[in-house]
């Protein structure tokens, strides 16, 4: 039976990535962590990196370190993220700001470019189930630019696909914004297909990768995605508030003017010249002094992803979500819990949404027992499964705990 602890132990014993779990702070405790999709665990090597950074680059190097790497860090770290996780050739990824701020900058630049090429493109397409910040930003930009929001709705476990978008996207569309993995249902969109659809109608595709980067293999260049943003504190384990990354397809970069014109995005910041002149390439998407301290931990997780291999990671992620669904069917369906995540693994990211009318209370009870999922309005418990730091035994203990609090 899937629900026996022996079965979980056998899955862990057969898991070639199991040993990576020891590389994370806190892995030795019995706590069940189902929120690596919201805030990844820190790596054990990261404290050493931080102390070293503080003593050497900052403490000894002081301001000289700007010339020795910090000034280029948004681009060099961006390139590393691009190559390790995005399927992006270098020169197309930048690191800085929060996801919300960077999404604003890229989305508005994309919208402005589209409207200037064809003023009849007056709509931004976004779905009702997208993450709040994405929806609010679209509303704000539409208001700022006198455009319309074209809302689309997708069934919770079906997500945004060509069928749903096909009815909304047309020659009036400036930009389509979609999350690659839906933050609630965990639905994984077919990024290549929806990008092709947007392009067929002359629209630009902006993808939010917050819940897919570092856990789903990405091929932004090959898929033809125009712009993308994502978090580094979820599956890239950068720590609370670590900066976002942004991707802009190379041949669009020169066409885009982002709205927050600060000195760090200037072609020659240290000339302190009158008048703004955007830098070439990805530097133009910067605004102010980059968050160098907060960038440090990200490199450790990129090392680990490269060591494990993103395809192996995806395989384990699918095994974990499949196992969580199997356990939910067996242990939680008697309590009328439903699984709101696609059952087809190819349409699923790395978290599973379990729904029950009393889930909010249940999550509070679980936190008291050191089982840490999160609650998503109105009735969802999210089981986030970070493949390098989550064991099958942990999934087993966690889902059993959900059953016992509901009982």
Q: Does 236 bind ligand PLP (CB under 6 A)?
A: no
Please identify which of the residues 35, 382, 392, 397 carries the catalytic annotation.
382
Q: How far is the CB of 105 from ligand PLP (least distance, A)?
A: 12
Question: CA–CA distance from 373 to each of 28, 342, 364 (Å)?
Answer: 18, 19, 10
In a 3-state reduction of DSSP, which class is residue 247?
strand
CB of 352 to ligand PLP, least distance (A): 15
Contact segment (CB under 6 A) with ligand PLP among 111-119, 148-156, 206-214, 246-254 equals: 206-214
Buried residues in 275-314 as b, exposed as e (16+ CB within 10 A): eeebbeebbbbbbeebbbebbbbbbbbbebbeebebebbb
- 98 touches ligand PLP (CB under 6 A): yes
Q: Which stretch binds ligand PLP (CB under 6 A): 129-137, 212-220, 268-276, 344-352?
A: 129-137
**Rounded to an integer, what distance in angstroms lies between the CA atom of residue 310 and that of residue 388?**
11
Angle, CA of 38, 182 and 43, to the nearest 5°:
25
- Asked if 134 interacts with ligand PLP (CB under 6 A), we say yes
Q: Decide if residue 131 touches ligand PLP (CB under 6 A).
A: yes
Number of Cβ within a 10 Å radius of residue 146: 8
Q: How many residues does the chain have?
A: 407
Residue 99 in contact with ligand PLP, rule: CB under 6 A: yes
Q: Which of 211, 249, 283, 382 binds ligand PLP (CB under 6 A)?
A: 211
- Residue 382 bears catalytic tag: yes
Q: Which of 11, 154, 204, 210: binder of ligand PLP (CB under 6 A)?
A: 210
Shortest separation between residue 40's beta carbon and ligand PLP, angstroms: 12
Cα–Cα–Cα angle for 382, 218, 232, rounded to 5 degrees: 55
**Least distance from ligand PLP to the Cβ atom of residue 386, Å:** 14
179 lines the binding site for ligand PLP (CB under 6 A): yes
Binding of ligand PLP at residue 108 (CB under 6 A)?
A: no
* Position 133 contacts ligand PLP (CB under 6 A): yes
Q: Which of 34, 183, 233, 392 does the annotation list as catalytic? A: 233
Specify the residue, 189 or 332, whose C-beta has the smaller distance to ligand PLP.
189
- Compute the distance between CA of residue 322 and CA of residue 399 in angstroms, rounded to an integer: 13
208 is an active site residue: yes
Of the ranges 13-21, 95-103, 147-155, 254-262, which one interacts with ligand PLP (CB under 6 A)? 95-103
Q: Is 234 a catalytic residue?
A: yes
| Nearer of residues 73 and 228 to ligand PLP, judged by Cβ | 228
* Span near ligand PLP by CB under 6 A; candidates 81-89, 208-216, 246-254, 298-306: 208-216
| Annotated catalytic residue 233 | yes
Q: How far apart are CA 333 and CA 331, in angstroms?
A: 6
CA 299 → CA 43, 70, 77, 306, 385, distances in Å? Answer: 11, 14, 8, 11, 21
Of 24, 28, 21, 36, give the one whose Cα is nearest residue 373.
36
Residue 104 sits in the site that holds ligand PLP (CB under 6 A): no
Question: Which residues partner with 354 through β-bridges?
Answer: 339, 381
281: phi > 0 → left, psi -120 to 50 → alpha, else beta; which?
A: left
Among residues 183, 138, 140, which one has the least CA distance to residue 160?
A: 183
Non-local (6+) Cβ contacts of 288 within 8 A are 262, 263, 264
Contacting positions for ligand PLP (CB under 6 A)? 98-100, 131, 133-134, 179, 183, 208, 210-211, 231
Active site residues: 131, 208, 233-234, 382
């Amino acid at each position: 039976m899937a629900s026996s602890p022996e079965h979980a132990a056998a899955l862990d014993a057969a898991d070639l990535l199991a040993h990576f779990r020891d590389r994370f702070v806190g892995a030795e405790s019995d706590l069940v962590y189902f929120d690596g999709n919201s805030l990844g665990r820190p790596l054990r090597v990261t404290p050493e990196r931080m102390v070293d950074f503080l003593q050497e680059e900052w403490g000894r190097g002081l301001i000289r370190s700007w010339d020795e790497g910090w000034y280029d860090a948004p681009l060099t770290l961006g390139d590393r993220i691009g190559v390790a996780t995005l399927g992006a050739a270098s020169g197309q990824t930048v690191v800085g700001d929060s996801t919300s701020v960077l999404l604003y900058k890229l989305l508005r630049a994309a919208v402005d470019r589209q409207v200037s090429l064809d003023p009849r493109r007056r709509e931004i397409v976004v779905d009702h189930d997208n993450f709040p910040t994405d929806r609010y930003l679209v509303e704000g930009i539409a208001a700022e630019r006198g455009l319309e929001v074209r809302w689309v709705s997708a069934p919770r476990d079906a997500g945004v696909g060509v069928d749903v978008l096909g009815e909304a996207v047309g020659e009036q569309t400036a930009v389509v914004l979609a999350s690659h993995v839906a933050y609630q249902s965990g639905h994984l969109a077919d990024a290549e297909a929806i990008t092709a659809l947007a392009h067929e109608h002359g629209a630009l595709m902006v993808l939010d990768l917050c819940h897919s980067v570092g856990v789903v293999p990405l091929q932004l260049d090959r898929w033809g995605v125009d712009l993308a943003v994502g978090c580094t504190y979820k599956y890239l384990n950068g720590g609370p508030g670590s900066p976002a990354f942004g991707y802009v397809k190379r041949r669009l970069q020169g066409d885009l003017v982002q709205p927050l014109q600060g000195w760090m995005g200037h072609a020659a910041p240290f000339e302190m010249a009158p008048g703004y002149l955007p830098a070439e390439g990805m530097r133009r998407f910067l605004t102010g002094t980059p968050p160098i301290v907060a960038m440090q931990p990200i490199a450790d997780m990129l090392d680990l992803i490269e060591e494990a291999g993103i395809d192996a990671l995806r395989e384990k992620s699918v095994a974990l979500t499949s196992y969580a669904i199997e356990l939910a069917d067996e242990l939680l369906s008697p309590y009328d819990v439903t699984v709101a995540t696609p059952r087809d693994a190819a349409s699923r990211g790395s978290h599973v949404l379990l729904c029950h009318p009393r889930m909010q209370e249940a999550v509070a009870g679980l936190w008291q027992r050191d089982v840490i999922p999160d609650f998503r309005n109105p009735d969802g418990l999210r089981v986030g499964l970070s493949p390098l730091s989550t064991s099958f035994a942990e999934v087993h203990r966690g889902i059993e705990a959900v059953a016992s609090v509901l009982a």
